[in-house]
């Protein structure tokens, strides 16, 4: 009987210990706001912080060069990462930003479409060659952004004017590769680069190529 009472007491203690932990885990899952509106602080080329709501937002379907990345166009070096952040600052400074949250990522950051007035920030940045259209796995897909990127790339805007500028997802892999290779001991194996969308040819250019092929 004594052993039975001890078992009951231990079970009650363990149950009481687990309850706060479960409550703590459930509290970590923040609810997703329906809309976010107000002044922001720019963190980097793709992320904004809403001070009042104490939330960080990342632009959906968009990637910007890392802050430390530099580029070279026609022999002139320029700070690609700093430029992308400055562009976002200039377009949100003293302006109210309106964001439509879509979901949270693994770091509890809100992924959202964000606007200043009628301007879609991600779409405008991509159109001007400030950054890239990019869809992370398990995140909202924005196919229309790739059409904007093809036009910017064809015109050689911004990041598309630079020789040898790595897209940020490849740059992050390259900078972390030495540590990863050392831990894996793979002797220098590399992953294949992610493909970039092809440059769209103009209609006139396509007709010229077709005529040349027909003459062969």
- Rounded to the nearest integer, the mean pLDDT of the chain is 79
Q: Name residues whose C-beta falls within 8 Å of residue 59's C-beta, 6 or more positions apart in sequence.
A: 46, 47, 48, 111, 112, 113, 114, 121, 122, 125
What fold characterizes domain 36-165? OB fold (Dihydrolipoamide Acetyltransferase, E2P) (2.40.50)
pLDDT in the model for residue 56: 97
CA atoms of 67 and 84, how far apart (whole Å)? 8
Q: In Å, how far from its chain's centre is CA 118?
A: 21
- Mean pLDDT throughout 62-79? 96
Cα–Cα distance measured from residue 14 to residue 73, given in angstroms and rounded to the nearest whole number: 64
Q: What does the block give as tokens for 90?
A: 């200039």
Closest CA to 199 of 136, 146, 153: 153
Confidence of residue 209 (pLDDT cuts 50, 70, 90): very low
Question: For the whole prediction, is pTM greater than 0.75?
Answer: no
Band (pLDDT 50/70/90 cuts) for residue 29 is low
Q: Which residue has the tokens 């976002």?
A: 88
Q: How many angstroms separate the CA atoms of 209 and 203, rounded?
A: 10
* Residue 37, phi then psi, degrees to nearest 5: -145, 135
At residue 7, the pLDDT reads 41
Residue 160 CA from chain centroid, whole number = 18
CA distances from 189 to 23, 167, 178, 180, 216 (A): 44, 20, 11, 10, 43
CA pair distance 101, 108, nearest whole angstrom: 12
Average pLDDT over residues 152-167: 96
In which band, very low, low, confident or very high, does the pLDDT at 176 lie, cut at 50, 70 and 90? confident
Q: How far apart are CA 161 and CA 198, in angstroms?
A: 15
């Amino acid at each position: 009987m004594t052993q039975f009472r001890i078992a009951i007491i231990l079970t009650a203690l363990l149950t009481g210990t687990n309850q706060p932990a479960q409550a703590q885990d459930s509290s970590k899952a923040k609810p997703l706001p329906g809309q976010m509106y107000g002044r922001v602080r720019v963190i980097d080329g793709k992320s904004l912080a809403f001070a009042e709501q104490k939330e960080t937002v990342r632009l959906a379907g968009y990637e910007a060069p890392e802050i430390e990345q530099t580029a070279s166009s026609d022999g002139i070096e320029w700070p690609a990462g700093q430029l992308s952040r400055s562009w976002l600052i200039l377009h949100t400074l003293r302006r109210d930003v309106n964001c439509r949250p879509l979901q949270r990522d693994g770091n509890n950051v809100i992924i959202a479409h964000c606007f200043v007035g009628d301007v879609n920030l991600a779409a405008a940045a991509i159109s001007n060659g400030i950054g890239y259209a990019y869809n992370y796995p398990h995140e909202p897909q924005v196919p229309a952004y790739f059409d904007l990127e093809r036009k910017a790339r064809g015109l050689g805007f911004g990041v598309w004017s630079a020789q040898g500028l790595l897209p940020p997802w490849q740059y992050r892999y390259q900078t972390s590769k030495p540590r990863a290779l050392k831990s894996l001991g793979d002797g220098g194996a590399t992953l294949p680069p992610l493909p970039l969308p092809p440059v769209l040819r103009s209609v006139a250019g396509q007709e010229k190529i077709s005529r040349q092929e027909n003459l062969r």
